[in-house]
């Protein structure tokens, strides 16, 4: 059923409940912000994080102060008690996407609040209404029950569009809810073009996790990004230019200290820091490796970054195990 028809059949805009599956850094900040703005929200989490949310609420830390949100929290999507007007928001790592989708009703709209470009295609195999979000939301989740928004006063930019292209009434509704919650959000018909640009940025996540945020990091990530651009062009995949991306970002995202703590690193850095045993490099650098193999373009930089960060995750190695020079030396010997 189309979004507008669903609203007419089942209720008003105010009836929408967002069930955010994955209440980590991005999902948790979005959940807390939406809840704080009066939107009906529930989350799906696991382990100590789930226990802490159920016991103490979700603690959202921001430069402006802390807030606690008593949000319904479930261990699995099946426990959510799905309603006709619900929207499923995926905020899990890409390697968990298919497993989550298998637990969702097939008539739900699915929003991919995720990095990478493979999630939307997986969702569209099962659910007819799929939306992609280009996530620009510096955030952190390192302790159970706690998420940190690292930019203020605007926590992030979350543009949304229908997959594979276009916008509709639901995309406009979701963007409006996000704006009410303090985010910058616009419905965009070319959302995947924007997400491929974000993919290029995320190719450096593995190198950042391996080396930390240190001098020389830009030089170490440069070959990974350049290789990614070359592969996308060979594959005939359009992506927004650096100038377009800079224009959209402007000066909106302003990093701020929260509790006197410096930003440690992005999502892959945080996975190594929490010793989760897994990272989503297969869906970031691995996407470039896959496209390179399909189109006959060598991808040694992305394959090296992927191989090294996966090995670090599996070994339980924390971030910063290599210097940028050491990473580049590994790349030269690949």
pLDDT digits (tens, 9 = 90+) for 227-249: 999 999 999 999 999 999 999 99
6 pLDDT above the threshold of 70: no
**pLDDT (mean) for 260-270:** 87
Residues 273 and 317: their CA atoms lie apart, in Å, by 8
Q: Which residues contact 225 (CB under 8 A, 6 or more apart)?
A: 200, 201, 203, 204
Residues 47 and 180: their CA atoms lie apart, in Å, by 31
Closest CA to 268 of 312, 231, 300: 312
3 pLDDT above the threshold of 80: no
DSSP 8-state secondary structure symbol assigned to residue 250: T
Place of tokens 């999630």: 119
Cα 30 to its chain centre, rounded Å, is: 11
Using a pLDDT cut of 70, give the percent of the chain over it: 96
Q: 10 Å Cβ neighbour count for 27?
A: 25
48 pLDDT above the threshold of 50: yes
**pLDDT (mean) for 61-76:** 97
Contact by Cβ (8 Å): 93, 172:
no
The domain segmentation of the chain, as residue ranges, is 3-189, 195-332
Query: What pLDDT is recorded for position 8?
Result: 44
Contact by Cβ (8 Å): 28, 52:
no
Query: How confident is the prediction for the chain on average, in pLDDT?
Result: 94
Confidence of residue 282 (pLDDT cuts 50, 70, 90): very high
**pLDDT (mean) for 271-281:** 95
Closest CA to 192 of 118, 87, 280, 123: 118
Residues 103 and 101: their CA atoms lie apart, in Å, by 5
Query: What pLDDT is recorded for position 263?
Result: 83
**Coil, helix or strand at residue 249:** helix
**pLDDT (mean) for 65-75:** 97
Q: 10 Å Cβ neighbour count for 28?
A: 30
Q: Which residues contact 247 (CB under 8 A, 6 or more apart)?
A: none
**pLDDT (mean) for 120-131:** 98
Same fold, 3-189 and 195-332: no
Query: What pLDDT is recorded for position 327?
Result: 97
Residues 154 and 53: their CA atoms lie apart, in Å, by 24
Confidence of residue 14 (pLDDT cuts 50, 70, 90): low
**pLDDT (mean) for 284-309:** 98
β-bridge pairing 17-21 and 40-44: parallel
Architecture of the domain whose range is 3-189 = 3-Layer(aba) Sandwich (3.40)
- Tokens, residue 144: 């159970």
Residues 54 and 52: their CA atoms lie apart, in Å, by 5
Residues 210 and 269: their CA atoms lie apart, in Å, by 8
Contact by Cβ (8 Å): 98, 119:
no
Query: What pLDDT is recorded for position 2?
Result: 53
Determine which of 1-10, 44-53, 95-104, 262-271 has the lowest per-residue pLDDT on average.
Answer: 1-10
> What is the four-CA torsion angle of 321, 323, 327, 330, rounded to 10 degrees?
-80
Domain at 195-332: CATH code: 1.10.1040.10
Contact by Cβ (8 Å): 144, 49:
yes
Query: What pLDDT is recorded for position 13?
Result: 54
112 pLDDT above the threshold of 70: yes
pLDDT digits (tens, 9 = 90+) for 170-190: 999 999 999 999 999 999 999
Query: What pLDDT is recorded for position 7?
Result: 46
**pLDDT (mean) for 76-97:** 96
Determine which of 11-20, 55-64, 163-172 has the lowest per-residue pLDDT on average.
Answer: 11-20
Please count the CA atoms within 13 angstroms of the CA of 194 that sit on its side-chain side. 29
């Amino acid at each position: 059923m189309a979004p507008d028809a669903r609203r007419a059949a089942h209720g008003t805009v105010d009836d929408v409940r967002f069930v955010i599956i994955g209440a980590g850094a991005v999902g948790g900040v979005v959940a807390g912000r939406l809840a704080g703005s009066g939107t009906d929200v529930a989350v799906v989490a696991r382990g100590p994080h789930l226990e802490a949310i159920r016991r103490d609420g979700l603690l959202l830390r921001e430069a402006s102060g802390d807030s606690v949100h008593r949000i319904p929290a479930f261990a699995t999507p099946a426990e959510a008690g799905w309603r006709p007007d619900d929207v499923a928001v995926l905020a899990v790592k890409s390697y968990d996407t298919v497993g989550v989708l298998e637990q969702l009703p097939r008539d739900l709209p699915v929003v991919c609040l995720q990095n990478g470009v493979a999630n939307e295609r997986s969702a569209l195999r099962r659910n007819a209404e799929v939306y992609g979000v280009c996530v620009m939301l510096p955030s952190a989740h390192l302790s159970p029950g706690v998420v940190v928004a690292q930019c203020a006063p605007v926590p992030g930019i979350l543009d949304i569009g229908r997959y594979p292209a276009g916008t509709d009434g639901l995309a406009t509704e979701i963007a409006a809810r996000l704006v009410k919650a303090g985010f910058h959000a616009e419905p965009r018909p070319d959302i995947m073009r924007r997400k491929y640009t974000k993919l290029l940025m995320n190719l450096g996540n593995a190198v950042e996790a391996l080396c930390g945020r240190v001098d020389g990091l830009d030089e170490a990530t440069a070959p990974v990004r350049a290789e990614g651009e070359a592969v996308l062009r060979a594959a005939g995949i359009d992506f927004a230019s650096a100038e377009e991306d800079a224009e959209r970002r402007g000066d909106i995202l302003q990093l701020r200290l929260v509790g006197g703590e410096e930003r440690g690193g992005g999502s892959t850095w945080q996975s190594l820091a929490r010793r989760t045993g897994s990272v989503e490099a297969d869906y970031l650098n691995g996407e470039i490796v896959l496209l390179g193999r399909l189109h006959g373009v060598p991808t040694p930089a992305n394959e090296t970054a992927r191989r090294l960060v996966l090995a670090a995750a599996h070994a339980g190695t924390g971030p910063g195990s290599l210097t940028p020079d050491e990473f580049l030396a590994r790349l030269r010997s690949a």
